[in-house]
Chain A
Amino acid sequence: MKKFLNTPDSYVADSLAGLAAAHPLLTVVTGADAGGAGFVRRAAATRAGKVALVSGGGSGHEPLHAGFVGVGMLDAACPGEVFTSPVPGQMLAAAQAVDSGAGVVFVVKNYTGDVLNFQMAAELAVEDAGIAVETVLVDDDVAVQDSTWTAGRRGTGATLMVEKIAGALAERGAELGVVAEMGRRVNASARSFAVALTGCTTPASSKPGFLLPDDEMEVGVGIHGEPGRRRAKLASAREVAELALDAILAEPVLAGGAAGTGPVEVIAMVNGLGATPLSELYILFNEVSRLLSGRGVSVVRSLVGNYVTSLDMAGASFTLCRVDDEMLELWDAPVNTPALRWGL
Chain B
Amino acid sequence: MNTDNGGGGGSAGDGDRDPAGGVNRVDTLDIATARAWIHAVALAVTARRDELTELDAAIGDADHGANLQRGFAAVEAVIGGPGYAPETVGQLLTKVGMTLISSVGGASGPLYGSAFRAIGRSLTTPEADGDQLSVALHAGLDAVRALGAAAAGDKTMVDALTPAVAAFDETVTAGGDLRAASRAAADAAEAGARATTPLQARKGRASYLGERSIGHQDPGATSTALIFAALAETLEHHG
Measured CB to CB, the residues of A under 8 A from B are: 35-36, 58, 80-89, 111-113, 116-117, 119-120, 143-144, 148-151, 154, 202, 204-205, 209, 222, 224-227, 229
Contact = CB atoms under 8 A, between A and B. Distances in A.
Interface stretch (B11-19, B96-104, B222-230): B96-104
Contacts of B210: 150, 229
Contact of A81 (B57, B59, B63, B111): B63
Contacts of B203: 112, 150-151
B103 A150 contact: no
B61 A226 contact: yes
The 6 A-B residue pairs with the shortest CB-CB distance, nearest first, are: A113-B106, A116-B110, A113-B107, A150-B207, A112-B107, A224-B61
Contacts of B205: 111-112, 151, 222, 224, 226
A205 B65 CA distance: 12
B63 A154 contact: no
B57 A85 contact: no
Contacts of B110: 88, 113, 116-117, 119-120
25 contacts: A83-B63, A84-B61, A85-B105, A87-B102, A88-B102, A111-B107, A111-B205, A112-B204, A113-B105, A113-B108, A113-B110, A116-B107, A116-B110, A116-B148, A117-B105, A120-B110, A143-B208, A144-B208, A149-B202, A222-B208, A224-B205, A226-B59, A226-B205, A226-B209, A229-B210
Interface string B74-108: 00000000000000000000000000011111111
Nearest to B204: A112
A151 B208 contact: yes
A145 B70 CA distance: 33
Majority SS at the chain A contact face: loop
B102 A150 contact: no
B212 interface: yes
A194 to B, nearest CB: 12
A26 to B, nearest CB: 22
Contacts of A83: 61-63
A82 B207 CA distance: 20
Interface in B45-71: 53, 57, 59-63, 66-67, 70
Contacts of A82: 63
Given A85-B105, A113-B106, A202-B62, 8 more contacts: A84-B106, A88-B101, A116-B111, A150-B207, A202-B63, A204-B63, A205-B57, A227-B209
Nearest to A226: B61
B147 interface: yes
A202 B208 CA distance: 20
B109 interface: yes
A50 B109 CA distance: 32
Contacts of B108: 113
**Most chain A Cβ neighbours within 10 Å, of B62, B67, B70:** B62
A143 B53 CA distance: 25
A87 B62 contact: no
B107 to A, nearest CB: 4
Contacts of A113: 105-110
B67 A151 contact: no
